Amino acid sequence: LEKFNESQIDVNSLLYATGQVALISVSNKNDEIIFANKTFLDIAGYEEKELIGQKHEAIKADEQDYNVFEHLYQTIREGKIWRGEIKNKAKDGSLYWVDISVVPVKNKEGITERYLWVGFFITSRKEYEEKQEQVIAELTEKKKELRKFELALYGTNDHVVMTDGEGKIMYANPAVENITGYKIEEILGKDFYSEELWGGLMSREFYDRLWKKIKGEKKSFSGTIQNKRKDGSKYYALSTISPILGKKGEVEFYVIIERDITEEKKIERSKTEFVSLASHQLRTPLSTINWYTEMLIAGDAGEINQDQRMYLGEIYAGSQRMVSLVDDLLDISRFELGKFTIKLKKVNITALIYGVLEGQKKMISDKKIQFLSTVGNNIPTIEIDENLLRMVLENLTSNAVKYTMVGGKIELDVFYDKEQDNVKFKISDNGLGIPKSEQKNIFKKMFRAYNVKEADTEGTGLGLYIAKSIVDRFSGEIKMESEENKGTTFSVSLPIKAKIKDLEEEI
């Protein structure tokens, strides 16, 4: 094989070959460019005449600092080769990186006459490196943030768990140990939704609804869930589960925050038990008062005069109000304690509505109210507890009558929504309406809006709370639309087939 050494390489061919990939230029002692090859011109975007006479540092990128050039010039002035990476600016303003060697070319006397600049285009590598650096910087920043976050979570009494998009537990704070009795190591990597961990005490429907909301609709869930601790004891958790979405809208992870509200629940329960007991006890003396007042009014104890009749009338009306209040309280406490046995049956809506309106007939005619009711003729029977549904409808219609002026108008529409397979009740009046600022409270226990209090109407603020509890229990929906002094519409929809929601079990 023929041996070949560097000195035998033809300089022109070498230059040509190198020039295909390298940016080559030659400058004089003052670093004024006297030659630039095509690759250089192409990349820098300049015409030859624009570059000739310029210094190399004139085409550097603004952010490329001068120190590099100072070092470069100093090195080559000493007759040494300089090598380094420089960021330049092309004519169109775009930036590019070159890996450059600058070689002083000496004459026979050993004096430097020119400089040979050979550069390689390394922009994509540099951009990749820059991006990499940026990512690392961001990650470091995020890590610092996370650390702060972790410290904050460490101390709270709320149970905080994070899972990946599939529900696999990635993080749990110490409160999880306190509340659930599991060691953090025991639950890391487990499926958050596995019944093995939390006992699966809620109904299948509940878990399905929860799952649909957070995974299907990718929305947050908030509510009370009953769970089991490691030792088997039960607890109530006020729980918020939030999906955190990634750039493409996929669930990246879930954050679950739970507060143990078992103690609060116990207190609430004993309060309700007290109300239940008290209302029960109040009924007997109230009946006695009613009974004897009726007897006095009827003259059973002798003739009474006009004034006495009037006063007894007031006592009687007052005790009637008390009876209805006590009944409402008793209903509520029974409902909250789950002592209301639900008797499901197929209910004929037309007959039920008829019965409800019969009860309101006197008030409606006393107030000269125009009452229109339209009950669709295709309404199937609905499976529900008839007494509870009656309570809902009685509450809504009696409110409409109560809060509508003399000569007002009320409409009751009942129709079947085939698509949703539910029955909708709509009760509209043109009465007092509910002030906007009060509307959010309307279903709260004992709430009465200021306008009805001013209008001196009687009421306990319990009716709508009861109605909503009942509708919720049967997986229905109750909505209100109202404008003050214009009127109010309540709509209730209930599924044809009974779907009873969980009522939390006793602990």
Stretches 168-176, 215-223, 379-387, 458-466: which one binds ligand ADP (CB under 6 A)? 458-466
Question: Is 101 or 460 the residue whose CB approaches ligand ADP more closely?
Answer: 460
Stretches 146-154, 199-207, 364-372, 444-452: which one binds ligand ADP (CB under 6 A)? 444-452
- Residue of 446, 349, 431, 346 lying closest to 390 (CA atoms): 349
Identify whether the C-beta of residue 409 lies closer than 8 Å to the C-beta of residue 366: no
Joined together, the tokens standing for residue 6 give 């560097």
Residue 469 CB contacts under 8 Å (≥ 6 apart), including other chains:
332, 335, 336
Residue 68 CB contacts under 8 Å (≥ 6 apart), including other chains:
84, 86
- Find the largest Cα–Cα distance for the chain: 148
Least spacing, CB of residue 455 vs ligand ADP, in Å? 9
Question: Is 253 or 403 the residue whose CB approaches ligand ADP more closely?
Answer: 403
Residue 389 CB contacts under 8 Å (≥ 6 apart), including other chains:
347, 352, 382, 470, 494
Q: What counts of helices (H) and strands (E) characterise the chain?
A: 15, 17
Binding to ligand ADP by CB under 6 A, coded x per residue (else -) over 358-397, reads -------------------------------------x--
Among 488, 493, 494, 496, binds ligand ADP (CB under 6 A): 488
Among 187, 400, 471, 494, binds ligand ADP (CB under 6 A): 400
Q: Does 441 bind ligand ADP (CB under 6 A)?
A: no
Binding to ligand ADP by CB under 6 A, coded x per residue (else -) over 462-481, reads xxxx----------------
Least spacing, CB of residue 428 vs ligand ADP, in Å? 9
Residue 304 CB contacts under 8 Å (≥ 6 apart), including other chains:
296, 297, 312
Question: Is 226 or 395 the residue whose CB approaches ligand ADP more closely?
Answer: 395
Q: Does 452 bind ligand ADP (CB under 6 A)?
A: yes
Q: Crossing angle for the helix pair 306-337 and 463-473, nearest 10 degrees?
A: 30
The single-letter DSSP state of residue 436 is G
Q: Does 448 bind ligand ADP (CB under 6 A)?
A: yes
Q: Does 181 bind ligand ADP (CB under 6 A)?
A: no
How long is the chain? 507
Among 225, 434, 471, 496, binds ligand ADP (CB under 6 A): 434
Among 69, 121, 198, 403, binds ligand ADP (CB under 6 A): 403
Least spacing, CB of residue 475 vs ligand ADP, in Å? 21
Least spacing, CB of residue 471 vs ligand ADP, in Å? 13
What residue type is 106 in one-letter code? K
Among 104, 199, 243, 431, binds ligand ADP (CB under 6 A): 431
Q: Does 331 bind ligand ADP (CB under 6 A)?
A: no
Q: Does 460 bind ligand ADP (CB under 6 A)?
A: yes
Place of tokens 């429907």: 205
Strands 422-429 and 382-385: unpaired
Give the Å distances, CA to CA, from 411 to 357, 360, 422. Answer: 12, 14, 20
Least spacing, CB of residue 198 vs ligand ADP, in Å? 36
Any alpha helices (H) in 55-111, and if so which ranges? Answer: 66-77
Q: Does 408 bind ligand ADP (CB under 6 A)?
A: no
Q: Does 430 bind ligand ADP (CB under 6 A)?
A: no
Q: Does 449 bind ligand ADP (CB under 6 A)?
A: yes
- Binding-residue total with ligand ADP (CB under 6 A): 22
Least spacing, CB of residue 412 vs ligand ADP, in Å? 12
The side-by-side arrangement of strands in the sheet containing 33-36 is 33-36, 22-28, 112-121, 95-106, 82-89
Question: Is 226 or 272 the residue whose CB approaches ligand ADP more closely?
Answer: 272
Question: Is 194 or 485 the residue whose CB approaches ligand ADP more closely?
Answer: 485
Stretches 10-18, 332-340, 432-440, 497-505: which one binds ligand ADP (CB under 6 A)? 432-440
Q: Crossing angle for the helix pair 386-402 and 349-366, nearest 10 degrees?
A: 30
Within positions 219 to 248, which residues make up the interface with ligand ADP, using CB under 6 A? none
Q: What are phi and psi of 104, to 5 degrees?
A: -70, 130
Among 429, 430, 474, 493, binds ligand ADP (CB under 6 A): 429
Question: Is 308 or 387 the residue whose CB approaches ligand ADP more closely?
Answer: 387
> DSSP for 100-144?
EEEEEEE-TTS-EEEEEEEEEE-HHHHHHHHHHHHHHHHHHHHHH
d(CA 361, CA 16): 108
Question: Is 161 or 470 the residue whose CB approaches ligand ADP more closely?
Answer: 470
- Residue of 398, 396, 412, 404 lying closest to 470 (CA atoms): 396
Binding to ligand ADP by CB under 6 A, coded x per residue (else -) over 141-180, reads ----------------------------------------
Joined together, the tokens standing for residue 60 give 């550097």
Among 88, 293, 399, 430, binds ligand ADP (CB under 6 A): 399
Using alpha carbons only, what angle is made at residue 185 by residues 183 and 189, rounded to the nearest 5 degrees? 125
The single-letter DSSP state of residue 327 is H
Least spacing, CB of residue 477 vs ligand ADP, in Å? 17
Question: Is 173 or 399 the residue whose CB approaches ligand ADP more closely?
Answer: 399
Which parts of this chain interact with ligand ADP (CB under 6 A)? 395, 399-400, 403, 429, 431-434, 442, 447-449, 452, 459-465, 488
